[in-house]
Structure 1
Amino acid sequence: MNSCEKLQRASYECHRRFPPGLARDSACRHLNRALAQCLVSEMCPEECEAVRSLCASGGTHLKRSQCQQAQLSLSICLSYHQEDNH
C-alpha cells in the first residue's frame, strides 16, 4: 500500500457522497489538494522538497531564482512521469 492510498480512498468517498457542483468542490477541496500533494511527493520527492524549502518565503533575489529553478525541476520531473504513463 503506498502512502497516498488512504487519501485516494477518502477523496473517492467524498466525491461519491456529494453531487457534482459547488458543494462537492467545497467539501472535497482539502482532500483533493492533500492527494495531489501526496502524489507529487511520491513521484518527485527531491524536487518537491526543494520547492517546499526554497519557495516558502519571498527572500532575496538569489532565493527567488533558486525557487524558480526548483519549480522548473519539479515541472520537468512531473512531465517525465506523465510521458512514462502514456
Structure 2
Amino acid sequence: MSGEVPAECDRVYRSLQQCHRRVPTGPSRDSVCRHLNRSLAECMISFICPEESSAVKSLCGNNKGTALKRSQCQHAQISLATCISYHQDPS
C-alpha cells in the first residue's frame, strides 16, 4: 500500500487530517480525534484484509458466546493479525 489511502477510506482520512489541523498537538488532540483514528484504522483493515476482518466482526461481536464461538473468535483474530502482519512494510 505504501502510504496510499483506498478510495473507500478517503472521507475518514480527510476528516482526520482536518481534526489534526484544528486541534493542537497533545493529549487533547488524541482525545478529540480518537474516533476518527479508530474509524480510519478499521476502514484500512477492512480494505486490506476483508475476509479476516469480516470474520472477526461476525464471530467476536458478543463476548458471552459458547466455548466454540470464543475459540472461533480467537482463530479469526489470529488470522486477521497474520494478514495485517503480511501487509506491513518491512522497512
Partner SS, residue 57 of structure 2: helix
Q: Secondary structure at the match of 1:20?
A: coil
Structure 1 gaps, min length 5: none
TM-score for both structures, normalised by structure 1? 0.92
Show the counterpart of 2:3: none
Q: TM-score, normalised by structure 2?
A: 0.87
Deviations along 1:18-67, whole A, 9 cap, x unmatched?
11112211211111110000000000000000000000112000000000
The answer for unaligned runs of 5 or more in structure 2 is 1-5
Q: Is 2:52 aligned against 1:47?
A: yes
Q: 2:74 aligns with which of 68, 72, 77?
A: 68
Q: How far apart, CA to CA, are the structure 2 residues paired with 1:16 and 1:80?
A: 32
- What is the aligned residue count? 85
**Structure 2 partner of 1:24:** 29
Q: What's the % identity of the aligned pairs?
A: 56
More helix, by proportion: 1
